[in-house]
Amino acid sequence: MHRQPSRPVCWILALGLSAGLSGACSGSASDEASSSEPSTQKDTGASASSSSDNRDVFQDTGETVDSSPGQESNEPGNGSFQTRTNEDSPRWGCLGDVNWARASDDSLEYTGQTVGAFGGESLGGISFEVCPDASDASCSNPVVSGETGDDGAFTGTLPMGKNRTGFDGYARVTGGDDVLDTIVFFNPPITENEDAPVGVPLLNQSTFDMMTEMVMGLEANDERGHLALEALDCTWRRTSGVEFEIDTSDQETVELYINESMPTTSTSTTDATGLAGFFNVPAGEVTVTAKSAETGHTIGTAEVFVEAGAISEVAVAPEPAASPATN
């Protein structure tokens, strides 16, 4: 099952949690932060919400990883990601030897669900488009578009591409003046059907402004956008010890990480939540690079874009081109 791609929005929600708010991902950060190492136990939480319980959209699904030397297996939470790990380095032992599985069919059905970030309520009447080319910010050829129904759901058929390598585009969700535009990039590519709608939590602009000003003392530049990032390791869990870089950062851009459930600019690596972000990023194409803070080796990259006044979300995981490292 493909990893829930909208989870990096917890970077934004963490601002609200530290301000005394609660919402769709409350608990997920603190739960995962309780251990600095990825668990090898099976996580039985639901990965996405149903219409009857939208608060579960950020819980993990996962299966035990067989970390025996040289063992290839589908990692927990994503059948499209195959790794080779070993007992000495379960977190990063796959680097330099990563293979992403191909889809079993030429297309698959994808269902998303827009929910309120702090209430978990379904949001109907939200415009959406799912776009096949992550470099095409204009989405000149959407594979599906429209408005969400009363249950907040949107569904479409996604092409798996040449040689069934998966769908590596993005979804853009917009709600007019009241909802902060959100762009979710599918990285790594989707290659399997979800068991339930993938939750896409949305913020309204006033709440976002209040959180950033109250918690961080920051003022958003309307001509810039923001990046919400999630670092994943070889076991496909959020992970500590990762530093992010972007190639468009300037003096107005603020880099932040979640540390003990609080956003901070005083540290430069992820904690066990694996969450980080960049505030006030220049609009345009961005290359995101995740590196091991200990060794400096590249873990993975993502090519995305940022739009003025919007949040772009992406997870960065070990990729086939990543260089070998130990940790």
Please give the pLDDT value at position 321. Answer: 63
Q: Average pLDDT of 102-124?
A: 85
- Count of beta carbons in the 10 Å neighbourhood of residue 44: 9
**Following DSSP, what letter does each residue of 52-80 receive, concatenated?**
TBGGGTT---------STTEEEEPTT-TT
Please give the pLDDT value at position 8. Answer: 40
Please give the pLDDT value at position 198. Answer: 75
Please give the pLDDT value at position 90. Answer: 64
Mean pLDDT (the chain) is 74
Q: Average pLDDT of 18-26?
A: 46
Top pLDDT among 212 and 292 is at 292
Percentage of the chain modeled with pLDDT above 90:
37
Which range, 56-60, 71-75, 155-159, 200-204, is most confident? 155-159
pLDDT band at 299 (very low <50, low <70, confident <90, very high): very high
Is the pLDDT at 244 greater than 90, yes or no? yes
| pLDDT, tens only, 275-288 | 999 999 999 999 99
> Residue ranges per domain, the chain?
7-316
Q: Average pLDDT of 118-137?
A: 89
Please give the pLDDT value at position 51. Answer: 33
Is the pLDDT at 35 greater than 50, yes or no? no
Q: In 3D, which of 303, 279, 281 has the Cα closest to residue 290?
A: 303
Beta bridge partners of 245: 289
**How many Cα atoms within 13 Å fall on the side-chain side of residue 236?**
32
Please give the pLDDT value at position 196. Answer: 60
Please give the pLDDT value at position 234. Answer: 87
Lowest mean pLDDT among 42-46, 130-134, 219-223, 292-296: 42-46
User: Which class for 320: exposed (0-12), middle (13-18), buried (19 or more C-beta within 10 A)?
Assistant: exposed
pTM of the full structure: 0.76
Alpha-carbon distance values, 55 to 61, 100, 283 (Å): 15, 30, 31
| pLDDT, tens only, 219-238 | 889 999 999 999 999 888 88
Whose tokens are 């309780």? That residue is 34
Q: Average pLDDT of 108-117?
A: 85
pLDDT band at 85 (very low <50, low <70, confident <90, very high): very low
Q: Please, are residues 208 and 96 in contact by the beta-carbon 8 Å criterion?
A: no
Please give the pLDDT value at position 50. Answer: 33
Q: In 3D, which of 60, 63, 114 has the Cα closest to residue 273?
A: 60
| pLDDT, tens only, 71-80 | 333 333 333 3
Please give the pLDDT value at position 65. Answer: 34
Please give the pLDDT value at position 144. Answer: 92
Q: What's the rounded Cα separation, in Å, for the pair 235 and 327?
A: 13
